[in-house]
A and B are shown apart, each in its own frame.
Chain A
Amino acid sequence: MDSDADLVARAQQGDEAAFEQLVCKHQKYAFNLAYRVLGDYAEAEDVTQEAFVRAWRGLSGFRGQAQFTTWLYRIVHNLCLNRIPRLRRELLRTEPQEAVVGDSIPSPLDLLEAQERGAFLHAELNRLPAKYRLALTLRYLQDLSYEEVAGVLNVPMGTVKTHIHRARQILMERFRQWEESAAGADPVDLLPPVHGEENNYALS
C-alpha cells in the first residue's frame, strides 16, 4: 500500500484517486474522533466530510512537516471547536471540574447485561467531559505522543498531561465506586422473583 507521503504528493498534483485512498485509510479515525467529542453520529459525519473537503482544498499548503494524520486531526478538532465553542476555553482550563456529565452512576442492576468491567469503563469514558475525551482519544486512538496531542489541540504539553491524568483519576474513582456498590449488593436482590417461590427463602 502507498504511504501517506506518496498519496499526499499525488493528491497535491490533483490526483483524486490518491486522495480517495487517503479518505478510505483515515476516515474511521477521523470519524471516531469527531464522534467521541461531539457525541452525535450525524454531526460527526458532517464534521468528517467537511474535514476531508478542507484537507483537499488545503493540500497545497501541507508541506509534510507534520504527519498527514496529525494535520487531519487538527482540522477535525477545529471543526469540533466551531460546534462546541466552550470547548476552546475548557481545553485551556486545568483546574478540576465536575467529573461526569449526565446522571449519577448506573447501578449494578442497570449493568447486569454488560456485567464486564470493560463495558462499564467504556460507558464511563463516553460520559467524561468533552475535553478529556478529546485528549484521551488522540492519545490512545493512534498512540500519538503527548507532544503530538498538544500540537493538534494547540495547547501546552503540560495541559495535555494534566487532562489525561485527571481523566484517568476520574475513571479510577468511578470504577472504585462501582466495585463498592457491586460488592454491597446482595446477589439475591439482583434476581427477579420467581412466581410461587417468594416464601421459600423464608422457609429454607
Chain B
Amino acid sequence: MRCLDVRMELQAYVDGESSLEQAGLLEQHLAACEACREELGRLQIVAAALESWPLVAEPADLTARVMARVRLCPAVALPRFRLHWDDLAISAAGAMLFFTVMLTWRYLSTSGSAQLYWAQIYLWLEMLQLKALLLGGSGAVAAAQWLIWLMLAALVTLAMGYFAAGEQGRSEFVSSQ
C-alpha cells in the first residue's frame, strides 16, 4: 500500500471499521513506515480526546428551576385510553378484510346489474383497505391523506360506473333523473 492510501484508511482503522483484510494490509505497512505510524498515533490521540471531552458541571439548582417552571405549566395528563389514527387504520384494515371476503362471496353469487353495484362497493373497500395498510399514520397529515384517497376512490368508482353502464345504461340513467 502507498502512504496516501494508508492515510485515507487510517480513520476507519482507528474507529474499528476496517475489514480484517484491510487491517492486515495496513498493519503490514505501518510496521515498515514510521511517518504513517506517527499519523496513526496522532489520530489515536485525537480519538481519545474526543472520547474524553470533559463535561461542564450544570448549575446545582437546575432541576429545581426546571420543576418550578414545570409546575406552572398546564398538566399534560392523558386519558388512559388513547386512540390514534394509526391504531384506527390497523383496526379498519382488519374489518375491511373481513367485509371484502364476505362481499366477494356475494358478488360471485349475483348476476346482471347487481354485479356492477357490488363491484363498485368491492373496489371502494379494497381502496380503503390499501390506504389503511400502506399509509397508516397519525394526526392531521394522515387525515388529509384519507380525504384525498377517498376522493380518488370516488372518481375511480364514477369512471368505472360510466364505462360499465354502456351507452344504453347511461341514457337510461339520464332519463330516470
Residue numbers of A with Cβ under 8 A of B are 11-14, 16, 19-20, 23-24, 27-29, 31-32, 35, 41, 45, 48-49, 52-53, 56-60, 63, 117-118, 121-122, 125, 136-137, 140, 165, 168, 171-172, 175-176, 179
Instruction: State whether A12 touches B78 (Cβ < 8 A).
Output: yes
Task: Kindly state the separation between the CA atoms of A19 and B73 in the bound complex, as whole angstroms.
Answer: 13
Query: What residues of chain B lie closer than 8 Å to A56, measured between beta carbons?
Result: 70, 73, 76
Check B62 against A171 for contact (C-beta < 8 Å).
no
Chain A residues with CB under 8 A of B11: 165, 168
> When A and B form their complex, what is the total count of cross-chain residue pairs whose Cβ atoms lie within 8 Å?
106
Any A CB within 8 A of the CB of B53: yes
What residues on A are CB-neighbors of B69 within 8 Å?
A: 49, 52-53
Interface string of B47-61 (1 = CB under 8 A from A): 011111111101100
A53 touches B55 (CB 8 A): no
The answer, yes or no, to whether B20 is at the interface (CB within 8 Å) is: no
Q: Give the residues in chain B near A172, CB-CB below 8 Å.
A: 42-43, 46
Q: Which residue of B lies closest to A167 (CB)?
A: B50
> A24 — which chain B residues lie within 8 A by C-beta?
63
Do the beta carbons of B48 and A118 come within 8 Å of each other?
Answer: yes
Check A125 against B50 for contact (C-beta < 8 Å). Answer: yes
Note all chain B residues with C-beta closer than 8 A to A60: 76, 78
Chain A, Cβ-Cβ closest to B61 = A45
The size class of the interface chain B forms with chain A is: 20 to 34
Structural contact, A27 and B78, CB atoms closer than 8 A: no
Kindly identify, within residues 5 to 47 of chain B, every residue whose CB is under 8 Å from any CB belonging to chain A: 11, 42-43, 45-46
Q: How far is the CA of A23 from the CA of B73 in the complex (A)?
A: 16
Considering only residues 67-96 of chain B, those with a C-beta below 8 Å from chain A are 67, 69-71, 73-78, 80, 84
User: Is B2 in contact with chain A by the CB < 8 A criterion?
Assistant: no
Residue of B nearest to A120 (CB): B49
Pick the contact of B51 from A13, A59, A140, A165 — CB < 8 Å? Answer: A140
Q: How far is the CA of A40 from the CA of B52 in the complex (A)?
A: 21
User: Quick one: given A59-B76, A122-B53, are A32 and B67 in contact (CB under 8 Å)?
Assistant: no
By beta carbon, the residue of chain A nearest B80 is A13
Taking CB atoms, residues of chain A closer than 8 Å to B54 are 122
Is the beta-carbon distance between A118 and B77 smaller than 8 angstroms? no
Which residues on A sit within 8 Å (CB–CB) of B71?
Answer: 16
The answer to whether B66 and A53 have CB atoms under 8 Å apart is: yes
Instruction: List chain A residues, Cβ under 8 A from B49.
Output: 117-118, 121-122, 125, 171
A140 B53 Cβ-Cβ under 8 A: yes
Chain B residues lying within 8 Å of A11, measured Cβ to Cβ, are: 76
Contacts of A35 in B (CB 8 A): 56
Which of chain B's residues have a CB closer than 8 A to the CB of A63? 84, 138
Q: How far is the CA of A29 from the CA of B78 in the complex (A)?
A: 28
Q: Would A13 and B58 count as touching, CB distance under 8 A?
A: no
Bound Cα distance A24, B70 (Å): 14
Known interface pairs A31-B56, A53-B66, A56-B70; A14-B75 also in contact (CB < 8 Å): yes
